[in-house]
Amino acid sequence: MREKIKVEKVYDFLKKVDSNFPVPLSKRQDLKFLSEKLTDKGTLCIATDDGNIVSMVGGYTENIIDNKAYISVVATLKEYSGKGFAKRLVREFIEVCKEKNIDAAHLYTVHNNTVAVNMYKSLGFLEWKIKDETRKEDLHLIYYIGGDK
C-alpha cells in the first residue's frame, strides 16, 4: 500500500518548486487545486527528508485515456537536485503503471530543458507526436511499458 501524503505537504512543496519550472506551475493552474487533485485522484511518488517532501513525481494512473498514465509534475527542491531523486521517482511511477497493467506513461516538458529531456530519454521515453496536439510549445514524451510501440 502506497503512503498517503497530506495535501498541505504537497501544496507546501509545490509552492517551493513553482519558480524552478521554465513556466511556473502557478501560471498553468492553481497550486492549491493541483495539490488537492494530486492527493485525491493522483499517484504520488515522493522522497522526503525530515518529513518534508524534497522530490516528487505526481500523475494519474486511474480513469485514464487509452490506458496511458499521465505524469503531471516532476520536481525536486534545488538543494536536492542532481542526486537522482527525480529519475528514481519516475522509475517508481513506471513500476506503479506496470502493476496496474497500463500500456504507457506520457508527459510534457519544455523543449530546451535539456537536463529533464536527457533524463527522460535515458529512462526510455520517446518523443510522441499526436494529431491535434494541444501543447505545441512543449515536447511530448511517452514511455511504453511493454517496449516500443
Distances, alpha carbon 16 to alpha carbons 9, 67, 99, 110, in Å = 11, 32, 31, 20
Q: What is residue 1's predicted lDDT score, i.e. its pLDDT? A: 39
7-144: in CATH 3.40.630.30: yes
Q: Using 70 as the pLDDT threshold, list the residues of the chain that sit under it.
A: 1-3, 130, 133-136, 147-149
42-82 pLDDT, tens digit per residue, is: 999 999 999 999 999 999 999 898 999 999 999 999 999 99
Indicate the pTM of the whole model.
0.90
Rounded CA-CA distance 16/53 in Å is 10
Where are the chain's structural domains?
7-144
Q: How far is CA 19 from CA 16, 24, 78, in A?
A: 7, 5, 10
Cβ atoms < 10 Å from Cβ of 88: 14
Number of Cβ within a 10 Å radius of residue 61: 19
Report the distance separating Cα 143 and Cα 147, nearest Å.
8
